[in-house]
Amino acid sequence: MLLTVTSRNVLLPDCDQPRPATINVDIRTGKIIEVLLTYTGGAACIKSGDPHFVDAGDKVVLPGLVDAHVHLEEPGNQDWEGFWTGTQAAAAGGVTVLIDMPVDSSPPTTTPRNLDIKRCSARGRCWVDVGFWGGAIPGNQAELKPLLSAGARGFKCFLIDTGIEEFPRVSESDLHTHMSRLQNSVMIFHAEMQNASTSARHRLDPRSYQEFLCSRPEELEIDAITLITRLQAMYPSVSCHIAHLSAASALPTIRATKAHGSKLSVETCFHYLCLSAEDIPDGATEYKCTPPIREDSNRNLLWDALIDGTIDCVVSDHSPCLVEMKELESGDFMAAWGGVSSLGLGLSLLWTEGRKRGVSIGQMIRWMSIKNAELAGLSDKGQLKVGHDGDLVIWDPQMEFKVNASATAAPVVITDRMIGLERAFVFQEQVDSL
Ligand SMILES: [Zn+2]
């Protein structure tokens, strides 16, 4: 049985702009089996009324987005965010695959057994495809290969204190121990490096955004990225990936490394591309994340780096917490939880901002789907082509909405998994994790 989706605007691989096309998906396997370069809908279409024929008209059909940096904190902290709610937020915004970070659940995903515990928590509770990064912490080097065998997509480590006892930062010597055991794997770095001034800085006003910014200076990112580029040169079979780049002053180092053909890859986040420090009021701790949102001039340089290919991917770094952990009443930036929650809002955010800069939807899909799928080793995701998974998004680029705490609107989403979702309503059965 086939699901057919047709539109005058389908974004096909290697295209900057959408074009008329029809996609046929085998419902049994979930794979795209045919791409026709014509629109087959419209008033004269004899198939209208067929539930397996979707005429999207002028709306844009995109490959499902892949968000490779999401913190779903289950098990242990599911009242912050769990699989049930987080994956629905993803689906509402066209994210059909998310890769979960290993750090905020309890236990963290640092052993195959812990990965198994996480998988059990996810089973039957996911509305989109979910994969898992493993954690690299001091002393768990013997767990890395078994974690990969158990299905972890690669590893995440921190070069700065996490504030989470079960997930300490790694030293340079830990990294040599870990990376010398890995081949053809991914090591993702929280790229801020602890130094003597990180915790010693004197703070006068904990409500001041400027002071918070000074407590996480660009030099922490530059120091970390200098180390990462050195490690990349020493361990060329490991793909080093810089998570959530904020400091534009690190871009020359990254450009120089990439110019030598290194495997190094880089992501930034929707909040660094859409928000500026100048607009953040003192005490507004909802904006706290690490590394921090920097000045507007920095933001413009990040956009330039995306457009010229220095930055490869854009992700949410969705990192929710309980409202009280944001310290909204005191406005204390130092005490508040660091994290921004934008899972499922990325396409609208990037389109709103990118359109002003002349960016095409094809470029955005490279940053939000194709490159993230490559990072996570998902060779059949991120593009609408024969043999790939039929994860389709139908999106209205004209629709406008305002995000607020009580309601959000979102693009329409249809995926092969939508078939699963329909079943979910009937049989209480959900999509399984990757
Ligand atoms: Zn993160």
What spacing in Å lies between the alpha carbon of 84 and ligand 1's midpoint?
Answer: 19
What spacing in Å lies between the alpha carbon of 419 and ligand 1's midpoint?
Answer: 31
What spacing in Å lies between the alpha carbon of 192 and ligand 1's midpoint?
Answer: 12
Cα separation, 285 vs 209, whole angstroms = 8
pLDDT at 429: 32
What spacing in Å lies between the alpha carbon of 186 and ligand 1's midpoint?
Answer: 16
pLDDT digits (tens, 9 = 90+) for 204-244: 799 999 999 999 999 999 999 999 999 999 999 999 999 99
What spacing in Å lies between the alpha carbon of 69 and ligand 1's midpoint?
Answer: 6
pLDDT at 236: 95
pLDDT digits (tens, 9 = 90+) for 333-353: 999 999 999 998 999 999 999
Which pLDDT band holds residue 201 (cuts at 50, 70, 90)?
low
What spacing in Å lies between the alpha carbon of 161 and ligand 1's midpoint?
Answer: 13
What spacing in Å lies between the alpha carbon of 209 and ligand 1's midpoint?
Answer: 20
Mean pLDDT of 249-271: 96
Q: Give me the count of residues in the chain.
A: 434
Look at residue 61 and tell me whether its pLDDT is greater than 80.
yes
More confident residue, 48 or 240: 240
What spacing in Å lies between the alpha carbon of 339 and ligand 1's midpoint?
Answer: 8
What spacing in Å lies between the alpha carbon of 290 and ligand 1's midpoint?
Answer: 8
What spacing in Å lies between the alpha carbon of 317 and ligand 1's midpoint?
Answer: 5
What spacing in Å lies between the alpha carbon of 314 and ligand 1's midpoint?
Answer: 12
What spacing in Å lies between the alpha carbon of 412 and ligand 1's midpoint?
Answer: 27
Look at residue 46 and tell me whether its pLDDT is greater than 90.
no
What spacing in Å lies between the alpha carbon of 71 and ligand 1's midpoint?
Answer: 6
What spacing in Å lies between the alpha carbon of 189 and ligand 1's midpoint?
Answer: 10
pLDDT at 197: 65
Look at residue 424 and tell me whether its pLDDT is greater than 50.
no
Look at residue 433 and tell me whether its pLDDT is greater than 80.
no
Cα separation, 401 vs 344, whole angstroms = 13
pLDDT digits (tens, 9 = 90+) for 130-183: 999 999 999 999 999 999 999 999 999 999 999 899 999 999 999 999 999 998
What spacing in Å lies between the alpha carbon of 70 and ligand 1's midpoint?
Answer: 7
pLDDT at 419: 34
Give the rounded percent of residues in the chain with a pLDDT score beyond 70: 91
pLDDT at 211: 94
What spacing in Å lies between the alpha carbon of 338 and ligand 1's midpoint?
Answer: 10
pLDDT at 267: 98
CB contact at 8 A, 225 and 242: yes
What spacing in Å lies between the alpha carbon of 4 and ligand 1's midpoint?
Answer: 37
CB contact at 8 A, 247 and 221: yes
pLDDT at 422: 30
The DSSP annotation for 297-331 comes to HHHHHHHHHHHTTSS-EEE--B----GGGG-TTTT
Look at residue 431 and tell me whether its pLDDT is greater than 50.
no
Cα separation, 263 vs 392, whole angstroms = 29
Please tell me whether residue 66 adopts helix, strand or coil conformation. strand
Which pLDDT band holds residue 43 (cuts at 50, 70, 90)?
confident
Look at residue 412 and tell me whether its pLDDT is greater than 60.
no
**Tokens describing residue 4:** 């057919």
pLDDT digits (tens, 9 = 90+) for 353-370: 999 999 999 999 999 999
pLDDT at 420: 31
pLDDT digits (tens, 9 = 90+) for 73-114: 999 988 899 999 999 999 989 999 999 999 999 999 999 999
What spacing in Å lies between the alpha carbon of 101 and ligand 1's midpoint?
Answer: 7
Give the pairing of strands 239-243 and 129-132: unpaired
What spacing in Å lies between the alpha carbon of 285 and ligand 1's midpoint?
Answer: 17
Which pLDDT band holds residue 400 (cuts at 50, 70, 90)?
confident
What spacing in Å lies between the alpha carbon of 212 and ligand 1's midpoint?
Answer: 18
What spacing in Å lies between the alpha carbon of 47 and ligand 1's midpoint?
Answer: 45
Say what the pTM is.
0.92
Question: Average per-residue pLDDT in the chain?
Answer: 90
What spacing in Å lies between the alpha carbon of 319 and ligand 1's midpoint?
Answer: 7
Give the pairing of strands 31-36 and 392-395: unpaired
Q: Which domains does the chain carry?
A: 2-61+389-427 (2.30.40), 62-375 (3.20.20.140)
